[in-house]
Structure 1
Amino acid sequence: MKPFPQRRYGLARNEGGEPGRGTPPRSLVLALVLACASLMVLDQSGSVLDPARRAVGEVVGPAQSFTAGAVRPFVELPGWFEDKDQMRGELASLEAENDQLRSQVRTTDLDRNRLAEFEGLTAAATDLGTALVPARVIGIGASQSFSATVTIDAGSSSGITPDLTVLNNDGLVGRVLRVTSTTATVLLVVDPDSAVGARVAADMELGFLTGRGELGDDARLDLELVDQTVVPRERDVVVTWGSRNGDSPYLAGVPVGEVVSVYNSVRETSQRAVIDPFVDFAALDLVGVAVPSGTRSDRAVVEADGSLR
């Protein structure tokens, strides 16, 4: 039996004792080791390799920056779309919130005025001891057959009938002229065809009010007293006299206006007082129609005690 060949750790040798072809010579390995050690020493000192490093950085750095700049859009593209969608959503939300705030600002004055008018109607119902059906003015003037009328959005289905008193939180507006199931035409107290029994609150003197057909700041009423020897004073308040049956066409005690002047009519040998109405007929909105207590209505009714039914 042949003995196993003896092997040593180290370089493999061929039969002639020389290093094998696949193994580097010992001198080459030693030279590489010395070169690495020299580079490490030089790297520690930094003085010799710094120019080389700078040269390599000047060449490689711009190439790296260019590559990174060219690749970055493609890498960040999905995130860009996500951010874009998020920004669009936030912008839409902010625009909706802004529109809502603008709408609130636009309607704040209107809501405040309507609330004040409704509170005034509630107080009027309590003061006059009558139930009121609230309604809004939806037409005025030219579309009607009378020169000083308005249309309200409540009719027979709300318990309204002709010859009922119409007022607002300032005073007397007029009386119901005619109705449909959902609307009613109101003859304003300033219409020339309107005649209202009235009295001067200070001395309870009776008279009759007639309109001049004017609206707005120029609206005036003429009061002719029954006792022609009585001369009312300026700023005396005039209220409705009331009707025979107590509630139509005019309730008693509804404020109408105040005396601004008195003049003599030579032709009629009488004195007339000019009345400035409390109601602004050019800015009518919420009104109340006086109805008998217990009237059936398809809308809320302000009762005489101020409660809603």
Structure 2
Amino acid sequence: MFRDSARSRLILAVLVVSAMILLIVDTRPGTDPFTSMARNGGELVFAPTAAGVGYVLGPIGQIQDRIGQGSEGSDRIAELEAANAELESELLAARIDEHRSAQLDDLLHLSGMGGYEIVPAQAVTRTTARGYAHTATLDAGTESGVEPNMTVVNGDGLVGQVTEAGPRTATVKLAIDVGSSVGARLESTRKIGAVTGGSVPGGPEGDMTLELFDLEVPVEQGDRVVTLGSHEGAPFVPGVPIGTVEEVQVAPGALSRIARLTPAVDFAALDVVGVVVQGPAEDPRDSVLPPEPDPEGDQ
């Protein structure tokens, strides 16, 4: 710590005078021996001080340079992140379009096999909350020919039934709703029954339950079920895949055989669907069902 005293003031005065002399000497031209010696002596005295000042102030200049560079770097990083986000968004949109295109192809294949005239639509919202019906809202309505009681399908099978239709939207009761009931028949034996959404009293837990009216009908795991069809195709056209038998149960005192079904449709991933605005000229029977897996090919 610097203290104000007579000695310190004397040292300061000597340094100031010496500095002035060196400035005068340093401005003189030529290579006079006395001048050179004085310059060299001044460097020995003041160089450590100058170096110390440079050591202290140097990092400050570097920090200022880095601040300037950091600002430019941050802007560049922000630009790159924005470009990357835009690219990811474009790739996601392309994948979604590709996925929907594949779903539309499957839907057109199903409608072609069944002879169904359809209006393609997209399931834009889905309601699955407890206490509410399992429904979906489509982005097509009466302006596209959609009316209540029409069958709704996708490329895998039965989605549900139109319950309400506005000019540009429609509400669909999904086949897994507890209020849904569909006339059905087995692929193998052609025996008939009804498929309801959810479970029935005394039956196994599941998204769909098949009740066959004949207790003697043989039912096995893996049997497939399709829509029986209704008068003039309303509310359900015939031949649409509903699901596959997962578990069979005979409830004590029951008047029918009960089976839990695995739905043909993935209701958790509804997207592209088709509203059947005109049913087939004749029952397609089992032609809409996909080929059964080859047991030898699975081994």
If the TM-score is normalised by the length of the shorter chain, which range does it land in? 0.5 to 0.7
SS in structure 1 of the partner of residue 231 of structure 2: coil
Matched, 1:204 2:183: no
TM-score, structure 2 as length reference: 0.62
1:212-248 C-alpha deviation (Å, 9 max, x unpaired):
179xx952323323x3311212101101111121x22
Q: Which residue of 1 aligns with 2:277?
A: 291
1:165 and 1:90 map into 2 onto residues whose CA distance is: 54
Q: Show the counterpart of 1:224.
A: 212
1:242 to 219, 222, 229: 229
* 1:281 to 2:267 alignment: yes
Q: Are the equivalent residues in 2 in contact too, given 1:132–1:289 (CA < 8 A)?
A: yes
CA RMSD of aligned residues (A): 4.3
1:52 maps to: none
8 A Cα contact 1:190 1:213, kept in partner: no
Indicate yes or no: 2:234 matched with 1:263: no
> Quick one: which of 120, 144, 168 aligns to 2:106?
120
Any conservation in 2 of the 1:223–1:274 contact (CA below 8 Å)?
Answer: no
- Once the two structures are superposed, residues 133-181 of structure 1 have per-residue CA deviations (whole angstroms, 9 ceiling, x without a partner) of 222232313499x522222222112211001001112211110011111
SS in structure 2 at match of 1:102 = helix
For 2:90 and 2:206, the matched residues in 1 are separated by 33
| SS at structure 2 position matched to 1:100 | helix
Q: Distance in 2 between matches of 1:106 and 1:139?
A: 22
- What does 1:46-65 correspond to in 2, within 5 Å? none
Distance 1:239 1:139, change over 3 A: same
Looking at CA atoms only, which structure, 1 or 2, has the larger radius of gyration?
A: 1
Structure 1, unmatched stretches of 5+, are 1-82, 294-309
Give the structure-1-normalised TM-score.
0.60
1:186 deviates by: 0.8
1:252 aligns with 2:238: yes
2:145, 2:130 → 1: CA distance?
24
Which residue is 2:128 aligned to? 141
Taking the aligned partners of 2:199 and 2:98, their CA distance within structure 1 comes to 30
Q: Is the 8 A contact 2:153 2:273 kept in 1?
A: yes
Once the two structures are superposed, the pairs formed by residues 73-112 of structure 1 within 5 Å of their partners are: 94-107=80-93, 109-112=95-98
Aligned counterparts of 1:101 and 1:220: Cα–Cα separation in 2: 42
Structure 2 unaligned blocks of 5 or more: 1-68, 280-299
Structure 2 CA distance for aligned equivalents of residues 192 and 92 of structure 1: 51
Q: CA deviation at 1:105?
A: 4.5
For 1:189, the equivalent position in structure 2 comes to 175
Residues 201, 236 of structure 1: 8 Å contact kept: yes
How many residues align structurally? 242
CA contact (8 A) 2:152 2:158 kept: yes
Aligned mates of 2:164, 2:177 — CA distance in 1: 16
Cα distance change on mapping 1:102 and 1:218 into 2, 3 Å: farther
Identify the residue that residue 159 of structure 1 maps to in structure 2: 145
Q: Distance in 1 between matches of 2:221 and 2:181?
A: 22
